[in-house]
Chains A and B, each alone.
Chain A
């Protein structure tokens, strides 16, 4: 089954404790992206990757890091989480083919206390 998976689905952590949210897709997509979703602000892009070893900042990259060492994986790293990073996070992928349709993971709800 074609899908985007994220882990963990729920995470409660404390300020300053480094964490990684994993994202994996099995559709051989070139493009992958991370978003955060906050009430009243909608979905905002954090980082995206056009292909392996190619990443770029989205609209809200501060406090986040990413890497793309393999085509299928695109982890999101919070080196020193802060309470304002409490949010719902989504990973997405799309092909570079004609349709360019985005597929989303189930989301990771992060709470930083």
Chain B
């Protein structure tokens, strides 16, 4: 059974630091991996989507990498700002032989960037 783990569960850093969030998955047979941001009591906002054939994706100060063979993805945030404070979630998309698919989420990393 696919499990998705995010470490650390919580992280507090001073403004301006570069930081890395980790996402691990147990089954490498994924279709894609998506990183989300969630503000308290709010919905999920998609940050980056990496297809299984890709190694990384970049958007602004964010860079996500994917290593399927080791079951790992990282989200790199450059020059962190207080506005980056949120919970970051990763999700893998699994495909089944019947043509169906489903998503498994990690439990998230709660990030706080101190001014």
A residues with CB within 8 A of B: 31, 33, 35, 40-45, 48, 50, 56, 58, 88, 90, 92, 98-107, 109
Q: Is the CB of B91 within 8 A of A102?
A: yes
Tell whether, in the assembled complex, residue A43 and residue B105 are in contact, meaning their CB atoms are under 8 Å apart.
Answer: yes
- Judged by a CB distance under 8 angstroms, whether B81 is at the interface is no
Answer whether residue B63 sits at the interface, using C-beta atoms and an 8 A cutoff: no
Spot the interface stretch: B12-20, B21-29, B39-47, B70-78. Answer: B39-47
- A to B CB contacts below 8 Å, 16 in the list: A31-B101, A35-B105, A41-B107, A42-B105, A50-B99, A58-B102, A90-B43, A90-B44, A98-B51, A100-B49, A100-B101, A101-B46, A102-B103, A104-B36, A107-B42, A109-B41
With A and B bound together, what is the CA distance between A106 and B104 in angstroms?
Answer: 19
Residues of chain B within 8 A (CB-CB) of A41 are 107
Residue pair B107, A56 in contact (C-beta under 8 Å): no
Residues of B within 8 A of A92 (CB): 44
Q: Is the CB of A100 within 8 A of B108?
A: no
| B contact face: mostly helix, strand, loop, or mixed | strand
**When the two chains form their complex, are residues B108 and A99 in contact, meaning their CB atoms are under 8 A apart?**
no
Interface centre among A45, A102, A106 (most CB of B within 10 A): A102
Query: CB-CB < 8 A to A48: which residues of B?
Result: 102
Q: With A40-B107, A42-B106, A42-B107 known to touch, is A102 a contact of B46 (CB < 8 Å)?
A: yes
Shortest distance in angstroms between B57's beta carbon and chain A's nearest beta carbon?
Answer: 11
Q: How far is the CA of A81 from the CA of B5 in the complex (A)?
A: 30
A90, B42: Cα distance in complex, Å: 10
Question: How far apart are the CA atoms of A99 and B31 in the complex, in Å?
Answer: 10
Contact B49 A101, beta carbon cutoff 8 Å = yes
